A and B are shown apart, each in its own frame.
Chain A
Amino acid sequence: MLYGPSFGVVAMLALPLSWPLENRQVVLIGAGAWAIRKLTLINRTPAKVTVFAPLADLTDALPRWPEAAELADASLIIVAFDDRTLAEKGAGLARTSRAPLNVVDFPDLSDFHVPAIIDRGTLSIGVATGGGAPVLARETRRKIEAAVPPSETEVAAFATALSPRLRDLIPNTDDRRRAWENILSSPATELARKGQIDDAVALALTNIDAPRTGVVHLVGAGPGDPELLTLKALRLLSEADVIVYDRLVGDGVMDLARRDADRFYVGKERSNHSVPQDQIHELLVEQARLGKRVVRLKGGDPFVFGRGGEEVEALRQAGIEVHITPGVTAALGCAASAAVPLTHRDHAQSVTFITGHSKDGDHSNPLRLDWSALSAPHHTLVVYMGVATAREIADKLTRHGRMPDTPVLVIENGTRADERRTLTHLGALADTIAAHPPKGPALVIIGEVAALYQDTAAAVITETLRINA
Chain B
Amino acid sequence: MPRNSLSSPACGGGVSAKPEGLVSMTEGAKPPSVSPLHHFVVPLPRFAGEDRKGFVSLVGAGPGDADHLTLGALKALQSAQALLYDALVSEDILALAPQKCVKICVGKRGDRLSVSQDKTNALMVRLAKKGLHVVRLKGGDPSVFGRVEEERLYLEAHDIGHKTLPGVTAASAAAAQFAFPLTHRGEARSVTFLTGRTKDGSIDLRHESISDPMVSLVFYMSSHNADHIEASLLHAGRSPQTPVVIIENAGRPTARALSGTLTEMAALVAQAAFDGPVLMGIGVAFGYARLALLNSGPVKARLQA
Contact = CB atoms under 8 A, between A and B. Distances in A.
Nearest to B63: A326
Contact of B190 (A225, A333, A352, A468): A352
Interface residues of A, number: 112
A228 B71 CA distance: 6
Interface residues of B, number: 102
Contact of A45 (B1, B162, B177): B1
Contacts of B60: 328, 332, 336
Contact of B149 (A58, A235, A344, A362): A344
Contacts of B45: 33
Interface string B170-195: 00110111011111111001111111
Interface in B117-163: 133, 141-150, 152, 161-163
B16 interface: yes
B169 A329 contact: yes
B4 A44 contact: yes
Interface string A345-384: 1100111111100010110101011100100101100000
B281 to A, nearest CB: 11
Contacts of A344: 149
A327 B172 CA distance: 7
Given A37-B100, A40-B6, A309 B95 contact: no
A469 B55 CA distance: 10
A324 B6 contact: no
B143 A468 contact: no
A386 interface: no
B264 interface: no
Interface in A112-147: 119, 121-122, 124, 142, 145-146
A438 interface: no
B7 interface: yes
Contacts of A469: 79
Given A228-B71, A336-B164, A352-B215, A36 B194 contact: no
A251 interface: no
A369 B190 CA distance: 8
A316 B298 CA distance: 16
Q: Is chain B's interface secondary structure helix, strand, loop, or mixed overall?
A: loop
A292 interface: no
B157 to A, nearest CB: 13
Contacts of B240: none
A229 B71 contact: yes
Given A150-B95, A461-B162, A234 B71 contact: yes
A373 B212 contact: yes
Contacts of A13: none
A350 B71 contact: no
A321 interface: yes
Interface string A157-199: 0000000000000000000000000000001001101111001
Pick from B37, B66, B167, B176 the residue with the most CB of A within 10 Å: B176
Contacts of B211: 370
B143 A340 contact: yes
A379 B167 CA distance: 21
B253 interface: yes
Interface in B177-222: 177, 179-186, 189-195, 198-199, 204, 206-208, 210-212, 214-215
Contact of B42 (A36, A226, A232): A36
Contact of A230 (B69, B145, B162, B183): B69
A146 B165 contact: no
Contacts of B114: none
B207 to A, nearest CB: 3
B74 interface: yes
Given A195-B253, A332-B169, A364-B186, A303 B176 contact: yes
Given A44-B1, A369-B190, A149 B66 contact: yes
B17 interface: yes
B185 A310 contact: yes
A59 B68 contact: no
Contacts of B206: 376
A395 B42 CA distance: 62
Contacts of A412: none
Interface stretch (B22-30, B267-275, B287-295): B287-295
A37 B181 CA distance: 45
A157 to B, nearest CB: 9
B5 to A, nearest CB: 8
Given A301-B172, A310-B185, A230 B4 contact: no
A65 interface: no
A412 to B, nearest CB: 17
B143 A332 contact: yes
A99 interface: no
Contacts of B166: 223, 228, 328, 332-333, 335-337
B21 interface: no
A349 B185 contact: no
Contacts of B142: 336, 341
A469 B76 CA distance: 9
A243 B110 CA distance: 39
A278 interface: no
Interface string B73-91: 0110011000000000000
Contact of A350 (B72, B143, B167, B192): B192
A359 B96 CA distance: 41
Contacts of B78: 142, 145
A227 B40 contact: no
B74 A145 contact: yes
Given A223-B166, A349-B198, 9 more contacts: A199-B298, A220-B172, A225-B72, A309-B185, A323-B296, A328-B172, A329-B172, A341-B143, A352-B215
17 contacts: A40-B16, A43-B3, A124-B1, A145-B96, A195-B253, A227-B70, A227-B72, A230-B69, A303-B181, A313-B288, A328-B60, A328-B166, A335-B143, A336-B165, A370-B215, A373-B210, A449-B149
Q: Which 3 A-B pairs have the closest CB atoms?
A: A309-B181, A464-B161, A376-B207
Interface of B: 1-4, 6-7, 16-17, 36-40, 42-43, 45, 52-55, 60, 62, 65-72, 74-75, 78-79, 92-93, 95-96, 99-100, 133, 141-150, 152, 161-169, 172-173, 175-177, 179-186, 189-195, 198-199, 204, 206-208, 210-212, 214-215, 251, 253, 285, 288, 291, 294-298
